[in-house]
């Protein structure tokens, strides 16, 4: 393949291999685009003429930006937060349809009462008007809640309500508590990026950066579009004073 001009197509494949406790490689799923910038500062020497007669490189920088459509908790944690990752997750039930019974007790047990986490409000289904939360003995337009069971006033008997709350799930997902770490603390990870030539089987080019740190994670939602998180990273030297390696088909 040494005499073949190689081209690349598509967004490529991006894999991060974290260091430390979260050391399992993680793929950036549904990659949309990857940008890699390699730059140096320069110092110019001038004489009596307009253009420099010598130029020397100064500080170097390799930065990257990846956009990917997967909402990936383990990847966020391993490359950006660097926290302890636990199994299970919190889920949100938004506007769960319920009704105040027509007779006592005037209570509504949520569908996930056994794993209830926290109340996120109640509104009347007919009007969207919010009810007020009280600690006990609710009056009309009020409610109280305990362990996923909502109590209403007899004056609201028979009314349809929409209940929002959070609950826990232990059988799937992941959860990382974001704690306030000391200044200077950041997880590091290796980046592997490669693309292929669609016209030549087996032809590819790749870049491996041995030691990277992320300084920005952006997550933006839109009314009529998919969420595409964006992770920025910068390469630094590893213990062997190496930055990375580039491999090409030519």
Instruction: List the one residue out of 110, 193, 169, 112 whose CA is nearest residue 145.
Output: 110
* Helix residue ranges per DSSP H, the chain: 73-76
Please give the Cα distance from 77 to 22 (Å, whole number).
8
**Is 68:29 a contact under the CB 8 Å cutoff?**
yes
Please give the Cα distance from 66 to 192 (Å, whole number).
12
**Which residues of the chain are modeled with pLDDT < 70?**
1-5
Is the pTM of the predicted complex or chain greater than 0.95? no
pLDDT of residue 5: 59
pLDDT of residue 171: 85
pLDDT of residue 2: 47
Instruction: List the one residue out of 189, 198, 212, 221 whose CA is nearest residue 11.
Output: 198
| DSSP 8-state assignment for residue 179 | -
| Element spanning 172, H or E | strand 160-176
pLDDT of residue 89: 94
Number of helices (H), then strands (E), belonging to the chain: the values are: 1, 15
pLDDT of residue 201: 81
Please give the Cα distance from 184 to 35 (Å, whole number).
26
229 CA to centre of own chain: 6
Cis peptide before 105 (omega within 30 of 0): yes
Instruction: List the one residue out of 240, 96, 85 whose CA is nearest residue 175.
Output: 85
């Amino acid at each position: 393949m040494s005499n073949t001009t190689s081209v690349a197509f598509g967004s490529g494949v991006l894999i991060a291999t974290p260091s430390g406790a979260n050391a399992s490689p993680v793929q950036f799923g549904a990659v949309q685009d990857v940008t890699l910038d390699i730059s140096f500062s320069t110092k110019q020497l001038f004489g009596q003429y307009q253009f420099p007669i010598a130029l020397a490189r100064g500080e170097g920088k390799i930065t990257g930006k990846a956009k990917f459509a997967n909402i990936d908790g383990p990847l966020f944690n391993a490359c950006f937060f660097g926290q302890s990752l636990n199994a299970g997750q919190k889920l949100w039930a938004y506007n769960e349809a319920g009704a105040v019974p027509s007779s006592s007790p005037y209570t509504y047990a949520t569908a996930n009462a056994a794993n209830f986490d926290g109340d996120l409000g109640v509104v009347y289904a007919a009007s969207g008007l919010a009810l007020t939360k009280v600690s006990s003995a609710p009056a009309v337009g009020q409610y109280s809640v305990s362990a996923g069971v909502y109590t209403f006033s007899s004056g609201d008997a028979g009314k349809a309500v929409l209940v929002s709350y959070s609950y826990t799930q232990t059988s799937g997902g992941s959860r990382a508590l974001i704690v306030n770490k000391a200044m200077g603390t950041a997880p590091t990870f290796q980046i592997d990026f490669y693309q292929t030539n669609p016209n030549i089987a087996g032809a590819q080019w790749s870049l491996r950066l041995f030691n990277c740190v992320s300084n920005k994670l952006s997550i933006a939602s839109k009314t009529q579009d998919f969420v595409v998180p964006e992770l920025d990273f910068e390469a630094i030297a590893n213990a062997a004073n190496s930055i990375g390696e580039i491999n090409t088909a030519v």
